[in-house]
Amino acid sequence: METPRKRDLGQRWTDTIRGFLGEIAFTKWMQERFGIAVRMDYKYGLLREFLMSDIKSVNGREPRLKVGIKTTKLEGIWLDVPGAQIKHSDVFVLVRVGVTSEHLIAFLKKISAIRDKLMKEALERKLVREEELEEAWNVTPEFTPVPAYIVGFLNKLEYADRLTSEYSIIDVDGKVKKVRVVINKYVGFWNPEKEEYRVMVLNLLKSKDKNVKDDMKIEFEGIGNFSETLHFIVNSGSLRRDKRDWEELLRKL
């Protein structure tokens, strides 16, 4: 039986691996698309040591901009910068990565850790029969390449004069569905703990849609809501993504 603790551990593993794979995908994409060698800082340490930038070097030199790499699921549409991280980097890149919790089991199978170690010891201890292990081996998924997609980037410097406080909301749009509004476009801060944000968002939406009412609930497309802390969020459609945008960023980087 799957317990909440097991689900939590599985989700944390998936989120951690997704983050690493997102950074690896970005470095490969930069090399293949633009011929630029980007080196990430993979050392172990405290979160505050990595708030400034995930990129350690660009073509062997220190980058001129501080860049944070953010990853989401393959179907994710939100660049999410939680807490005070928005203050520490100049640019945030969004990468979609299609990794799931099944990839861990598939990876262990591929490197023979399951058959040569786990199954071997189980047989030696006579915990299971050989035919049971063979059946388990056959149903264990095979490892497949993990898809990744570089969505785009947010250049925070473009909005510097509009980010005057943690209540700054630059753009918002959504669809009215009975008693709620589903947000599909957003650039700015959001904190589900504070009622002020809901009021501000609804007031902004009223100017676009007369069907928006003061008592409506707010949900975000694809996730419902973000965790109860301050976030700076941007929908993927509002990110810079054209080749010219990337080339301009790389000249500054």
Average pLDDT of span 225-248:
94
Structure-model confidence comparison of residues 150 and 159, the more confident one = 150
Domain of 128? Answer: 102-139
Within a domain: residue 130? yes
Could you tell me if residue 122 is inside a domain?
yes
For the chain, how many residues are written? 253
Task: Domain count for the chain, please give it.
Answer: 1
Give residue 51's pLDDT band: very low, low, confident or very high (50, 70, 90): very low
Range in 111-120, 137-146, 239-248 the model is least confident about: 111-120
- pLDDT above 70: residue 29: yes
Give 47's pLDDT tier (boundaries 50, 70, 90). Answer: very low
Residue 118, in any domain of the structure: yes
- Among the residue ranges 70-79, 124-133, 173-182, 216-225, the one predicted with the least confidence is 124-133
Question: Residues 57-69: pLDDT tens digits?
Answer: 999 999 999 999 9
Report whether pLDDT(173) > 70. yes
Residue 108 lies in a domain: yes
**At residue 201, does pLDDT exceed 90?**
yes
Q: Is residue 120 part of a domain?
A: yes
Write b or e for each residue in 67-91: b if 16 or more Cβ atoms lie within 10 A of its Cβ, otherwise e: bbbbbbbeebbbbbbeeebbebbbb
Residue 5: the pLDDT is 47
Structure confidence at residue 130 as a pLDDT band (50, 70, 90): confident
pLDDT at 50: 44
The tokens describing 90, both together, are 């100049």
**What is the percent of the chain with per-residue pLDDT over 70, rounded to a whole number?**
76
**Angle CA(139)–CA(142)–CA(146) in degrees, nearest 5?**
140
Considering the domain boundaries, does residue 51 fall inside one? no
Q: Establish how many alpha carbons lie within 13 A of residue 103's alpha carbon, considering only the half-sphere containing its beta carbon.
A: 16
pLDDT of residue 49: 47
Whether 98 has a pLDDT exceeding 80, the answer reads: yes
Mean pLDDT lowest for which of 3-17, 61-75, 83-97, 142-156? 3-17
Q: Does residue 22 fall inside a structural domain?
A: no
Residue with tokens 């929908």: 235
Per-residue model confidence (pLDDT) at position 2: 44
pLDDT at 61: 94
Nearest in space to 198 (alpha carbons), one of 177, 181, 184: 181
Has residue 30 got a pLDDT over 90? yes
To the nearest whole number, what is the mean pLDDT of the chain? 84
| pLDDT for 3 | 47
The more confidently predicted of residues 210 and 17 is 210
Q: Considering the domain boundaries, does residue 46 fall inside one?
A: no
